[in-house]
Amino acid sequence: MRIIAALGLMVFACAPSYAQAVYGTIVGSVTDATGAAVPNARVVITDTGRDVSQSTQTNESGNFTQRFLIVGRYRVRVEAQGFKASVQENIPVSVDTEIKVDVRLEVGDVTQVLEVSAAAGILKTERSDVASTYSERTMTELPVLNRRFTNFQLMTPGVVAWPTSLTAASAENPQGSYRMLVNGQSFAGTSHLLDGTDNHDAVLGWIVINPTLESVTEAKITTANYDAEFGVASAGVVSAQTKSGTNQLHGSAFEFLRNDKMIARNPFTQSRPIPNSNGRLIPLTQWNQFGGSIGGAAIKNKLFFFGDYQGTRRNTGGGSLLRVPSVAERTGDMSATGVNIFDPRSGSAPANRMQFPGNIIPASRLSAQSQSLLRLIPNPNIAAATDQPNFASSGGVRFNDNAFTHISVLSRACESPGCSSASISIGV
């Protein structure tokens, strides 16, 4: 079992922070019925899951920008003297994206409310990045082999796995990640970010912490034209945002199971009983993954928590069909091989050496070391021609994994100008 641990402590104020890769942005303009800009309008943006608000004002051109928004759903309320208040609900904010919300106010009393149901669009005029965004629902409901976050990287257009990704030793890659080739670029040029923190092994090219799918609220994989803030990357950027609690208590539980009871027997490599297995033909095979998550509010509207666990119990079985030395060959009798065997002591030059009579090496000439090694190699167990595989067997290897990917505590009290937030997160 391999455990990878990371401890992050981050306390920040909304105003001086510039880690846009973690957050999203809402921008827009406020106009009246004639299309004229409405300056100094108050814009209140509320995280509907946590009931936390941030406010800003439109400038002289009627434009506003609110950055550093956590992934989620928001409500935008606009108020201006002499106009009805405008409210737009259910605006989605994603990682490293900008959502444009344009508001047209109607003349009336500010106590009157005009609710707008038009969907907000993603603004792409200020950036030209090419990216794929995976939502929480996509990652938890899409069938993914082994339920690894890194598998979503390979679903992204332009991304393939480095051919030797799966042949690395488990000690080098216990998290089961892939080296990514983005649009043909080297895997060393890919940048991995987890909640805005560097999550990339610069030497081996792996993702350091492979978050569980239950802990990720959204992921964005950018393959071209990413912003200059990602200065480390030269191929692509993988940015994952983990969950935090909301005012409502939410949780999940899951279990997935595959075992040898549901596996068909390989008639070639699993035709003989496994030694000391009471006649079993298929090796003991099990892939059992289970866990859950829970998140909620410790103090409503102020202090939130989230944690998750995922356990994996694996017995990976397989079969082999290969050739081992026959009983005669182990005693030096090579007559059945059809290859002439010469005595190396009979001459210094190969052309002058004498052939062993009958291609049989005398027992006195057999190496004691080789005989000890041969005792560790099983005898043939299937009939086969001389140059064909004569041994079939199966076996397995056990690998267990425990992942406490995310335990977070989020405290927020954001009502500008005194907007601040603090977060403590632990990943294992």
Give the C-alpha distances (Å, rounded to integers) separating 411 from 19, 25, 52, 297, 305.
18, 20, 10, 10, 9
Give the C-alpha distances (Å, rounded to integers) separating 17 from 43, 262, 361, 419.
21, 52, 79, 12
Confidence of residue 157 (pLDDT cuts 50, 70, 90): very high
Kindly report the average pLDDT of the chain as a whole number. Answer: 82
Instruction: Using alpha carbons, select from 45, 21, 385 the residue that is nearest to residue 229.
Output: 21
pLDDT surpasses 70 at 5: no
**This prediction's pTM:** 0.68
To the question of domain 130-242 being in CATH 2.170.130.10, the answer is yes
327: its two tokens:
């009983």
Distance between CA 157 and CA 231 in Å, rounded?
Answer: 22
Kindly report, residue by residue over 31-51, the tens digit of the pLDDT. 999 999 999 999 999 999 888
Supply the pLDDT for residue 4: 37
Kindly report, residue by residue over 189-218, the tens digit of the pLDDT. 899 999 888 998 888 888 888 888 999 999
Supply the pLDDT for residue 416: 45
Q: Do domains 17-127 and 130-242 have the same CATH topology?
A: no
> 5 or 363: which carries more pLDDT confidence?
363
Kindly report, residue by residue over 123-152, the tens digit of the pLDDT. 566 667 888 999 999 988 888 878 888 889
User: Residue range 161-185: average pLDDT?
Assistant: 76
Confidence of residue 169 (pLDDT cuts 50, 70, 90): low
- Give the amino acid at 378: P
> Which backbone phi and psi does 261 adopt, to 5 degrees?
-70, -20
Supply the pLDDT for residue 19: 47
Kindly report, residue by residue over 236-250, the tens digit of the pLDDT. 999 998 888 889 999
Domain boundaries, the chain: 17-127, 130-242, 250-322+396-405, 327-377
pLDDT surpasses 80 at 294: yes
Supply the pLDDT for residue 302: 85
Please give the CATH number for the structural domain made up of 17-127. 2.60.40.1120
Instruction: Using alpha carbons, select from 182, 183, 254 the residue that is nearest to residue 192.
Output: 182
Confidence of residue 168 (pLDDT cuts 50, 70, 90): low
Confidence of residue 8 (pLDDT cuts 50, 70, 90): very low
